Structure 1
Amino acid sequence: MTTITTRTVEYPADGLTMIGHLALPAGADRAPAVLLGPEGLGLNDLQRRRADALAELGYVALAFDINGGRVLADPEEMLAHVTPLLASPDRMRDIGHAALDVLRAEPRTDPERIAAIGYGTGGIIALELGRDGVDLRAIGTINGLNTGRPGEAARINCPVWAGVGSEDPIMSRAHREAFTSEMQAAGVDWRFVVYGGALHAFHHPTVDHTVLPGVGHHPLHAERAWRDFLDLLAECLPLGEPAAAAAQPSS
């Protein structure tokens, strides 16, 4: 396994002190970089391991924070925090820009080659960065769809990949159709994958606390979605050598 370096980074955003996880690949040269956003419960060990897996491939990766260092395991507390956040594109963009500034300031980062991917809320933040006109090489989102303010999707200047579960009641058929219609009308290079039989947050391993209705793990599709993320990066943010296959980080 390739030796990587990791460290915790603290930075202000949304009135909070965010605590992100930065993973650096072996070597000293600049490398393409990935901004990795978490679901609404916040940055946890699973997202840290995903950042580490990206660094093992050769990317600089920053798993960013949205909850000021907290993991909101209680569904009611999580919704109380995330619902107003998702209703505010400007707040989401501020959180995304703050993390992006940290990633760009890292000396190992090639600032001209950055992609933004995320899960749930983190994926929606990646989309909002695109709608804000940020220069990204790719945007990817799993279980996180929204439609932006009128006309702003035309500012997305990179390919967009999105994936959801077919049985996801939170990212419903209406959400999917609104999102794909927005991308198509804006002339975005977009693609959309529906994972048959999967619920919301199918990418996240089963937890030992209460979850929202319609949420459930689907190990096979979790692995497939991770590979789809890697395929997006290999296409839009290629490394110096062909990207190697990487297994989905285990729980």
Structure 2
Amino acid sequence: MTTITTRTVTYPADGLMMVGHLAIPSGTGRRPAVLLGPEGPGLNDVQRDRADALAELGYVALAFDLHGGHWFTDPQEMLARVMPLLADPGRMRAIGHAALDVLRGEPRTDPGRIAAIGYGTGGAIALELGRDGVDLRAIGTVNGLTTGEPGETARIRCPVWAGVGSEDPIMPPAQREAFTAEMQAAGVDWRLVVYGGALHAFHHPPVDQTVLPGVGHHPRHAERAWRDVLGLLAECLPVAR
């Protein structure tokens, strides 16, 4: 591992001033980069820590924001913000592109070597960037197995890895099947890992607030999903030492 520097970055998107977290490895040369998207409630220290962990491995990592620096503690308020967003691919893409511009604008970033990883809503945004034809080396989505507009998934030009809990009521078997059918029909190099017994947001440590039904932490699978994400990056976006 390597020492890192971090800083807060602000940028406009979706009519808000987003507050992202940029983590950069030591050194001077350009590095492969990872765009990291949070789940529906917003950006918190869990994703900031993941960005830091990626920087320690040699990646430039940007944990991007969804809600203008806000973290939703009320599930219904979160849904009121997130559900219209998930129904609007153009808005999701705009949020993703704004963050991607920040990441590409970092001098340490190799703009030709970027992956997009996301959780829940952040994973849906990563997929929409691929459907928009963005040149990415890999896409990873945990719990965000969304489908897109007909024909656009064929614009994804990189491997897609997806992870989901077997007992996730928000991403039930029918949604998983629709997602994989779309990927297969579009000729995408895709993988799906179903984590047995896990609920929605199984990767996120418990929070001291009300959560939606079907949400719950699964420590063992959380570790496995993170290792799987790192495996995707090691395969598609290796860090030269």
Q: TM-score, normalized by length of structure 2?
A: 0.99
Superimposed CA distance per residue, residues 160-192 of structure 1 (whole angstroms, 9 cap, x where no aligned partner): 000000000000101000000000000000000
Tell me the amino acid that sits aligned with residue 130 of structure 1. Answer: G
Q: Secondary structure at the match of 1:239?
A: coil
Query: 2:133 & 2:164 partners in 1: Cα distance?
Result: 24
Residue 34 of structure 1 is matched in structure 2 by 34
- Provide the aligned length of Structure 1 versus Structure 2: 241
Give the Å deviation of 1:9.
0.3
Deviating 4+ runs (over 4 angstroms): none
Q: Deviation per CA, 1:136-182: give whole Å up to 9, x if none.
A: 00000001111100000000000000000000000010100000000
Shift of 1:2: 2.4
SS in 2 for 1:70: coil
Aligned match of 2:45 = 45
Shift of 1:207: 1.0
Q: For residue 7 of structure 1, report the CA deviation from its aligned partner.
A: 0.2
Map Cα deviations across residues 6-42 of structure 1 (whole Å, 9 max, x no partner).
Answer: 0000000000000000000011110000000000000
In 1, Cα distance between equivalents of 2:202 and 2:46: 13
Partner of 1:247: none
CA distance in 2, matches of 1:73, 1:200: 17
Q: Determine the structure 2 residue equivalent to 1:8.
A: 8
- Gapped regions of structure 2 (runs ≥ 5): none
Give the secondary-structure state (helix, strand or coil) at the position aligned to 2:52. Answer: helix
Residue aligning to 1:120: 120
Structure 1 position 208, deviation (Å) = 1.0
Correspondence 1:110-189 to 2 at 5 A:
110-189=110-189
Partner of 1:73: 73
Q: Using the alignment, how far apart are the partners of 2:146 and 2:92 within structure 1?
A: 12
Q: In the alignment, what sits opposite 2:62?
A: 62
Specify the alignment match of 2:98 in structure 1: 98
Q: Distance in 1 between matches of 2:97 and 2:175?
A: 25
| Partner-residue secondary structure (3-state), 1:175 | helix
SS in 2 for 1:82: helix
What letter matches 1:64 in structure 2? F
Partners in 1 of 2:69 and 2:100 — Cα distance?
17
Deviations 1:227-250 (A, max 9, x none): 000000000000103xxxxxxxxx
Provide TM-score, normalisation by structure 1. Answer: 0.95
- Residue in structure 2 matched with residue 107 of structure 1 by the alignment: 107
Q: Secondary structure at the match of 1:216?
A: coil
2 CA distance for matches of 1:65 and 1:210? 21
Matching residue's letter, 1:11: Y
Q: CA RMSD in A?
A: 0.6
Aligned mates of 2:207, 2:22 — CA distance in 1: 25
Equivalent position of 1:194 in the other structure = 194
